[in-house]
């Protein structure tokens, strides 16, 4: 039920709502925790909060319900949401930073390749990746 949301939005405590509605504080607590309320209690609360009884009987979408809805969604919907959430179109600044990082690390590893052959291989790979992304970046603009 949405009783707690309505009460909080009107800056009322449970005690104040109980006093204004003529109900017991414990009744307010039980209703807010999800227990069923009598029609008379709902009418009293609706009157104080200036809403319809139907509004008080609405269930709010809590985290458990959202999790169940998410798990019930098809895989393609969850993947589509994740891809849109991650925003796979990078900004220009992030792309330039990635290009700079690839090139610098490639050159550093190539210099370290004078000491270690695997470092040289890593440097060549990083430079290749950097130049490939540079090519893609120039084509993208």
pLDDT cut 70: percent of the chain above it: 87
Does residue 86 have a pLDDT over 70? no
Q: What is the pLDDT of residue 65?
A: 61
Q: Which of 94, 96, 105, 111 is nearest to 128 (CA)?
A: 105
List, as one string, the DSSP characters of 13-40. Answer: -HHHHHHHHT--HHHHHHHHTT----HH
Q: What is the pLDDT of residues 19-72, one digit of tens each?
A: 999 999 999 999 888 888 888 999 999 999 999 888 888 765 454 566 777 778
The 8-class DSSP code of residue 115 comes to: T
Whole-prediction pTM: 0.43
Contact at 8 Å (CB) between 107 and 69? Answer: no
Q: What is the pLDDT of residue 119?
A: 92
Instruction: State the average pLDDT over residues 104-127.
Output: 92
């Amino acid at each position: 039920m949405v009783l707690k949301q309505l009460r909080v939005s009107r800056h009322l405590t449970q005690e104040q709502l109980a006093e204004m509605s003529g109900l017991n504080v414990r009744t307010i607590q039980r209703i807010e925790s999800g227990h069923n309320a009598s029609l008379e209690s709902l009418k009293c609360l609706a009157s104080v909060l200036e809403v319809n009884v139907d509004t008080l009987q609405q269930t709010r979408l809590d985290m458990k319900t959202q999790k169940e809805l998410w798990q019930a969604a098809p895989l393609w919907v969850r993947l589509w949401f994740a891809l849109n959430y991650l925003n796979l179109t990078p900004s220009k600044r992030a792309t330039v930073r990635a290009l700079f990082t690839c090139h610098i690390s490639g050159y550093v590893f190539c210099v370290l390749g004078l000491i270690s052959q695997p470092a040289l291989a890593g440097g060549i790979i990083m430079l290749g990746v950097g130049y490939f992304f540079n090519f893609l970046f120039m084509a993208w603009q």
